[in-house]
Homo-oligomer: A and B are copies of this chain.
Amino acid sequence: MTDAVVGRLRAALGDRVDTAAESLDAARADKSGHAAPGRPLAVVHAASVEDVQAVMRIATATRTPVVVQGARTGLAGGSNAGAGEIALSLRGMTRILEVRPDDLLAVVEPGILNADLNAALAEHGLWWAPDPASRAISTVGGNIATGAGGLLCAKYGVVRDAVLGLDVVLADGRLLRLGHRSVKGVTGLDLTSLFIGSEGTLGVVVGATLKLRRLVPGTVCTIAATFPGVRDAAAGSAAVTAAGIQPAIMELMDATSLAAAHALLALPAPTPGAAQLTVQTDGPAAVAEAEAVARVLRDAGGTVAVSQDPDEGERLLAVRRAMHPAMESLGTTLIEDVSVPRSALPDMFDEIARIERDYGIVIPTVAHAGDGNLHPNFIFEGAEVPPRIWEAADELFRAALRLGGTLTGEHGIGVLKSRWLADELGDDQWELQRQVTAVFDPLGILNPGKVFAR
């Protein structure tokens, strides 16, 4: 049966069907540290919509599971492909099909890297706002599949705010065009939004009509503020929001993560115990807002430096962007992704400190403090998350839910968090969501074992 599936794929797609051992092994894992059990049947490197349709028709005919992949930079195992599955890679579909500065939209294939798209858009004075820390290595399609967030979300929104329409191939190979090209459009149900963040369970996104912005004019100001401890830094960020200032970026690093990032970048070690807020303001009021932010942070007990030099600003942000590789240098990492209302950020740091004490572990944490999204990192030895770490993570999830928050702000449920999904949704909503996926995928061949597995 397995050989028959690969044979049919080869007959239809020729050398775009890849069964090299190293390709199959690579397709098992994303950047979560977790790998699927076993090797997939094949990796198909799709070059066109027709390729994707051909794969899905064969998958439907043979009841073979399909896992859609991009750059495999996910952090929840959502695109890991294992035994008996087809890994359908869209990484090669990188074309920009249309850029319309007058309509502020672009139509792209899903495999293009976020940073490559933005480099091309910059020539038109445009940008696509979603800015995950991984933007240099993650694809637009992957950003859409996870409903990615990033650093700019409080001011400029998440992926869901930046997509007008999607072209999708259904499980049976049919092509649908969802959404619209106009700013407004309410014809029928909003399936575009339903697909965003659906993690490969509803269909294959083969094209996206993106809502663009014009590049923001004016100076970008960067404020770096050091605090004696992480709770002080969190209170400082909450004070900025409460003061009515809207920074473009407001990132928080606790002492452990700051020290690890400095070490990775060969920078001088920071003051022991110190936590840092890195804030950027932009737009016509950037300078005035930066001064206001600096005042609020000084009043909150921070040691504050303000810079209008873009190079200096990028250097300061580079420390934050080095977080994930810095964590990888400490051991195997389970990167968590809880999100809470902004006012609950200091309380959430208290909960993390409690869990550290109770479990005798260190949980280096960074946060998109401007929007309340935290990335606590659990570090351990070996390939699999030990049960004790899962217990600590379980406490973390429950604390976030208690504070009015959510399990995942931007990484998705994938395979690593599916067992907690019903805790947040409730059994009724969980079952309803599963039934909605069955409308799109009646045979259950799209990314089985992820999201709704329990």
Q: Closest B-chain residue to A420, C-beta based? A: B187
**8 A Cβ contacts from A425-454 to B:** 425-426, 428-430, 432-433, 435-437, 439-440, 451
Kindly report how many copies of this chain are found in the complex they form together.
2
CB distance from A13 to the nearest CB of B (A): 24
Q: Give the residue among A189, A190, A284 with the most B Cβ atoms within 10 A.
A: A189
Q: Are B188 and A421 in contact (CB under 8 A)?
A: yes
* Neighbouring B residues of A100 by C-beta, 8 Å: 341, 343
Cα-based distance from A125 to B245 in the complex (angstroms) = 12
B409 contacts A184, C-beta separation under 8 Å: yes
Task: Please give me the residue from chain B that is nearest to A161 by CB atom.
Answer: B161
A196 near B190 with CB under 8 A, answer: yes
Q: Are A406 and B341 in contact (CB under 8 A)?
A: no
Known: A102-B342, A428-B176. A433 touches B285 (CB 8 A): no
Q: Which of B102, B191, B404, B435 has a CB less than 8 Å from the CB of A241?
A: B102
Q: Specify which chain B residues have a CB less than 8 angstroms from the CB of A341 in the assembled complex.
A: 100, 103, 105, 181-182
Which residues 150-195 of A sit at the B interface, judged by CB distance below 8 A? 153-154, 157-158, 160-161, 170, 174, 176-178, 180-191, 193-194
Contacts of A238 in B (CB 8 A): 102
Q: Is A426's CB under 8 angstroms from B177's CB? A: yes
CA distance A3 to B179 in the complex (A): 43
Q: Are A436 and B439 in contact (CB under 8 A)?
A: yes
The yes or no answer to A373 lying at the interface (CB within 8 A) is yes
Which chain B residue lies CB-closest to A370?
Answer: B183
Residues of B within 8 A of A288 (CB): 284
| Cβ A437 vs Cβ B189 within 8 A | yes
In the complex, whether A219 has a CB less than 8 A from a CB of chain B is no
Known: A177-B426, A189-B194, A189-B198. A183 touches B214 (CB 8 A): no
Rounded to whole Å, the gap between the CB of A408 and the closest CB of chain B is 5
Nearest-neighbour CB distance to chain B for A431, whole angstroms, equals 10
**Residues of chain B contacted by A101 (CB below 8 angstroms):** 242
Interchain nearest-CB distance for A33 vs B (Å) = 20
Q: A241-B102, A244-B214, A342-B102 are in contact. Are A429 and B184 (CB under 8 A)?
A: no
> Are A174 and B428 interface neighbours, CB within 8 A?
yes
Q: Which of B146, B158, B405, B451 contacts A181 (CB 8 A)?
A: B405
Q: Give CA–CA (A405, B187) in the complex, Å.
A: 11
Contact B432 A176 (CB under 8 A): yes
**In the complex, which of the residues B174, B185, B342, B421 contacts A183, with contact meaning CB atoms closer than 8 Å?**
B342
Chain A's interface size range is 35 or more
A197 close to chain B: CB less than 8 A: yes
State which residues 394-418 of A face B: CB under 8 Å.
404-413
Instruction: Give chain B residues whose Cβ lies under 8 Å from the Cβ of A146.
Output: 186
Q: Closest Cβ of chain B: how far from A30's Cβ, in Å?
A: 16
A69 at the interface (CB under 8 A from B): no
Q: Is the CB of B433 within 8 A of A182?
A: no
Residues of chain B lying within 8 A (CB to CB) of residue A371 = 182-184
Q: Which residues of the partner chain B approach A246 to less than 8 Å between Cβ atoms?
A: 214
Neighbouring B residues of A424 by C-beta, 8 Å: 187-188
A400 to chain B minimum Cβ distance, whole angstroms, is 9
Given A184-B372, A190-B147, A190-B197: A176 in contact with B406 (beta carbons within 8 A): no
- Roughly how many angstroms separate A193 CA and B104 CA in the complex, as a whole number? 22
Q: Is A149's beta carbon under 8 Å from chain B? A: yes
- Given the complex of chains A and B, what is the CA–CA distance between A411 and B182 in angstroms? 15
Q: How far is the CB of A236 from chain B (nearest CB, A)?
A: 14
Inter-chain contacts of A428 with B (CB < 8 A): 170, 174, 176
Residues of B with C-beta under 8 A to A183:
153-154, 158, 339, 342, 371-373, 409
Interface contacts beyond A153-B183, A185-B409: sample of 20 additional A-B pairs, CB < 8 Å, sorted by A:
A101-B242, A102-B241, A160-B190, A170-B428, A170-B432, A180-B405, A181-B405, A182-B405, A184-B410, A186-B412, A188-B424, A188-B429, A190-B197, A191-B433, A191-B436, A193-B193, A283-B284, A283-B285, A432-B439, A432-B440
CB pairs A–B below 8 angstroms (28 shown): A102-B241, A103-B342, A105-B341, A125-B244, A147-B190, A149-B184, A158-B183, A158-B184, A160-B193, A161-B161, A170-B432, A176-B429, A178-B429, A180-B339, A180-B405, A181-B341, A182-B340, A182-B342, A182-B405, A183-B342, A183-B409, A184-B339, A184-B406, A188-B413, A188-B421, A193-B193, A284-B284, A436-B439
